[in-house]
Structure 1
Amino acid sequence: MKVNEFMKVLEQNKNKELVFSYAQDKLVGANYHLTEVKNVQFDTTDCGGKTNFWEETHFQLWESPSELGKRTYMTTDKILSIIKRVDGIKPVKVDTELKMEYGNDSFATSVMPVEHITLQESRVLVSLFAEATRCKANDACGIPEGAGAAQKEEATCCA
């Protein structure tokens, strides 16, 4: 999901609680804050020698230990106001893929894309998913599309 698509959902769902699900039946605590908006650039070379460049925008979510008992979530309006404040200081790249950075004591910090958004009467539920690492040089490594882990291990070009 692109940043501008996410912002459009927030704008169309004024003053609703914004809730994030980071795993099956696991919600980011109501004590979360949006602590950073990151314009991220990737300039990479894969094991097959191909270079890649892309940009993403990461929103960092952090749970405040001083607000552990909090029961109400940040609203769509509050998140939009933070994004707009950041955009006034350093332009947010709204045409890039949006990913959420989040972790807690029992979940390693991860950067996760939006899987889907569920609109509820008083909430916007954003479901995230963890992406698996993968070889970006499948053709150079001889890894067929959709190959299982055992096939990929046999075909690795980096061994």
Structure 2
Amino acid sequence: MNLLASTLSPATAQRYAMAIADPTTGAFLDKLQFHEALPLVIAYAGRVTKAGYHVTEIKAGRFSGLDCGANSEAWTETFIQVWDVPGEPQSRMMTVGKFLAIMDKVARDVGLDPASRLTFECGDDLGVIGLYAVDGIAVEPERVLVSLTPRHASCKPRDRWFETNGIDKPVRLTEDDALTEKGITSAVSGCCSTEKSPSNAKCC
């Protein structure tokens, strides 16, 4: 039995397509339950995984750090590394069931926090590996398609300020946007030091 099994019953498992922005490890695995026989296809960087892809490494980590507002934080994160290669002739795509079995073994032997942040590391043997978050899952008649979106660098105090105030943060900043946000984040979110508050030891 899967150690991170869903509480869903087979009767409630249906074909679906939904956006699940940056789900936890447990929430992601829950969405795959009851579709074990279907191939698992991963879409990233404008392409889908080749038939020979496989999961080369799974890391479960506990982290602590300071953000640019001198705020301490701690979190757990699960990294799933995918090596995207063609494989041998007649290679078949990994099934959802095989993927869940791999995750279940990691949960038993290493330990996985269902509430941990989930990050995919995807690449082939030629390019640079990329970091991705899950953006959506589509359960189709012939496959389960997991769509990934790149993880971008960000200012955490800024992100928290936008979230607290219910404002969608810009995807890409122009120079004018950056100047405007500099004033917002400095005044409201505590990002970046000023001459009036050097003791805060902010990073910027």
Q: Is TM (by shorter chain) over 0.5?
A: yes
Q: Distance in 1 between matches of 2:117 and 2:68?
A: 24
CA contact (8 A) 2:83 2:125 kept: no
* CA displacement at 1:134 relative to structure 2: 1.2
**2:123 alignment partner, one of 96, 100, 103:** 103
Matched position secondary structure for 2:106: helix
Instruction: Identify, as 1 or 2, the structure richer in strand.
Output: 1
Structure 1: gaps (5+ residues):
140-144
Name the counterpart of 1:112.
132
Residues 1:57 and 2:78 aligned together: yes
TM-score, length basis structure 1: 0.81
CA contact (8 A) 1:31 1:70 kept: no
Matched position secondary structure for 1:87: helix
Name the counterpart of 1:44.
65
Residues 1:149 and 2:145 aligned together: no
Identical-pair percentage: 30
Residues 1:10 and 2:32 aligned together: yes
Alignment of 1:19-30 (within 5 A): 19-24=41-46, 26-30=47-51
Name the counterpart of 1:142.
none
Of stretches 105-114 and 72-81 in structure 1, the one that deviates more from structure 2 is 105-114
Q: Distance in 1 between matches of 2:27 and 2:67?
A: 30
* CA displacement at 1:149 relative to structure 2: 3.5
Residues 1:92 and 2:112 aligned together: yes
CA contact (8 A) 2:85 2:125 kept: no
* CA displacement at 1:64 relative to structure 2: 4.6
Q: Distance in 1 between matches of 2:95 and 2:129?
A: 23
Task: Give deviations 1:125-154, integer Å, cap 9, x for gaps.
Answer: 000000221122339xxxxx6363313267
Of structures 1 and 2, the larger Rg is shown by 2
* Number of aligned positions between the proteins: 153
Where does structure 1 differ by over 4 angstroms across 4 or more consecutive aligned residues? Answer: 68-71
